[in-house]
Every structure is written in C-alpha cells, then in structure tokens.
Amino acid sequence: MLETKTASSDRAVAWWILIGVFMLMIQVLLGGVTRLTGSGLSITEWKPILGALPPMNDAGWNEAFDKYKQIAQYKQLNSYFTLADFKSIYFWEWLHRLWARLIAVAFLVPFIIFLVKKKFKPEMINPLVILFLLGLLQGLVGWIMVKSGLEDSPLLYVSHYKLAIHFILALGIICYALWFALQLLVPKEKIIEDNRIRSFYLWLIALLSIQLIYGAFMAGLKAAPFAPTWPDINGRFFPEYQQFKSNIAIFDNPFIVHFIHRTLAYIIFIVVMTGWWKYRLTYPSSLFNKTNWLLPVITLIQLVLGVFTVLYSPDTKKLVWLGAIHQFIAMLLLLSFIWIVYIFRGKQLPISK
C-alpha cells in the first residue's frame, strides 16, 4: 500500500514537471516569434510585477511608445512606426514575458502544495531548487540580452551571441526538467546498459547542440533571406573564399552562418539515419526499439521544414510561422535524443582486484 502511494506521488510530481516542460517549450516558441517579428526591444523596462499588465489607456501607450522612440532600433529602422505598429510588436514581447511569469506561478504554487502534502522524496528537493534557480538565471540572461539593444546601444536588434546563450540555456532547462521527470516515470528494469549506443547519441546531442546555436545565429542575424534558394545557395554550393577571410566570419557573416547551418542539417540527417539503420533491430521489445523510429521521422520533417523556411524567407509573415514550427521540431528532436540517452547507461567496468 505504501509503495502504491509512493508511486502515485512520483507520477503526480512527474506530470507536473512535464507540464512545465511543455510550458517552457511554448516560451521558447514565443521567444522565436518575438525575435523574428523584431519585437524584443519594444518593452524598454523590466517590471516583474507591474509589468504583467500592458498599458491600460492612451496615455500609458504613448508613454511606452515614447520610450521605444529613444532607442536605435526605432531611430534607424522603425521611424515610420505608428502607435498601431508599435502595439503589434509590443504584444509579442509582452506575451513572452507574461508566459515566463505564468511558468513561475505554475512552478511555485504546486511546489508549495506538494511540499505541504509531503509528496516529495528528500532526493527530489535539490533538483527542484536547481530547476527554479535556473529559471531565475534565464530571466536575468533574457533581460541582459534585451538591455544590450537599449539606451545608446548601436544595435538594431539584440546581440545574436546573447540570443544564442538565452536559447541554449532555455533548452538546457527543458532537458534537465525532462530528465528529472523520466527518473520518476521510467522503471529501472527498462534501462539498458550499452556504452556503444549511448556514446553514439551523446555525440549526436553534441552535434545537434552546435546546430541549435547556429539556428539562434540564423535568427539573430536574420540570415535565412540571404540565400532563399535550394538546393543551391544563391547559385552556388559553397561560399566564395573571400567570404571566409574574416576570423569571425563563421559566427558573424550571415551567408557563412547560413551555409554552416545547412551543412550541419545534412550531416545530422545522415548520422541519424545511419544510427537508426544500424541499431533498428537491437534490443527487441525494449523502449528503445519501440521509439527509435521517431528519430528519423522527426529529423526528416525538420530537414523539409528547414528547406521551406529558407525558400519562403523573403515573405516575412511566412518566415515567422515556418521559423517557429522549425524551432519547435528542433526541440522535439533534442528531447528525442535525451530520451534515448536516458534509457541507456554505460556498462560498469569490473573492479580489478
């Protein structure tokens, strides 16, 4: 009876965490839309409590608009904006910040309830505290990122480097939360010991992480419209040598970043398909065997979405929504890799006497 009650408590905590994972994924999507619509600098202040509500009257809207007019993005890029234009970009940044507040509430309220009802095992507390602190850190990084484009900054958009840090930290929090939930949901007898397969997918996660960073660079540099063709890149398959002359071209040159992002996509697709074919008959009836088919499917969908995102990138509205879907599938692919790595453990080497 006690074991049943404990298992029920574990499942309740796990599903609470999984709801948080879903909310975090929505937050990342909102962040992507905010970036692609150029909305990130529309709110020039950080008010954790009072900022939950948008301006409530004309005077409030005009005050917010006047503050936006002081930054470089308005002066050099959006000086034609009317109040209606400003409201349209303000909405996405406000929604992005509001959803972050909702995530905090969705974490703290159940945490207190579970704590009072003694649903937590002692070993659960530290990971949950770490998860909360990571959330606070993410909020701080987000504000530092936004602040980089305010005041007298020459930036028309926030730094793509800071955007990448903000993005990768968000994905790290999502993966950490998923891992914690899996610890509560997956029975130990379902875990497989296999160094070879585990290492293969760990390397894939590392490769995908680089690709995700370049995805953030793509969004930050607005690099997709630089080469809206496929399979060639503006009539070529490789950039010209001169484009690589700068020491930081691979990070700052939109065309080079675009080329690297495409190339990594092809490499990841080939490696995923190779792994699927190689290990598809391994461990029959295991969780790995039952779910391994998802990886090539998601990877193929992501590759096709990437092509369409590039082809339609000159159309701003289509770019926003295709880019957001592309980002969502990228998160699913990452979480699929995390799932595979979770169900594998490295074999313990015998201790020599």
The answer to whether 150 touches 73, Cβ cutoff 8 Å, is no
Considering the domain architecture, whether residues 209 and 147 belong to the same structural domain is answered as no
Tokens 């005077």 sit on residue: 59
Q: pTM of the full predicted structure?
A: 0.88
- 263: Cβ–Cβ under 8 A, 6 or more apart, which residues? none
Q: What is the pLDDT of residue 5?
A: 52
| CA–CA separation, 1 and 159 (whole Å) | 55
| CA–CA separation, 11 and 70 (whole Å) | 51
- Per the DSSP assignment, residues forming a β-bridge with 126 are none
Looking at the structure of the chain, the number of domains it has is 2
| CA–CA separation, 136 and 262 (whole Å) | 33
| CA–CA separation, 184 and 182 (whole Å) | 5
The boundaries of the domain holding residue 197 are 192-348
| CA–CA separation, 255 and 81 (whole Å) | 29
Tens of pLDDT, residue by residue over 222-276, are 888 888 888 888 777 776 655 555 556 688 888 889 989 999 999 999 999 999 9
75 or 209, which is more confident:
209
Question: Phi/psi of residue 236, each to 5°?
Answer: -125, 165
2: confidence class by pLDDT, cuts 50, 70, 90: very low
Residue 353 lies in a domain: no
Tens of pLDDT, residue by residue over 160-170, are 888 899 899 99
Residue 31 lies in a domain: yes
Considering the domain architecture, whether residues 174 and 97 belong to the same structural domain is answered as yes
179 or 124, which is more confident:
179
- 102: Cβ–Cβ under 8 A, 6 or more apart, which residues? 23
Residue 221 lies in a domain: yes
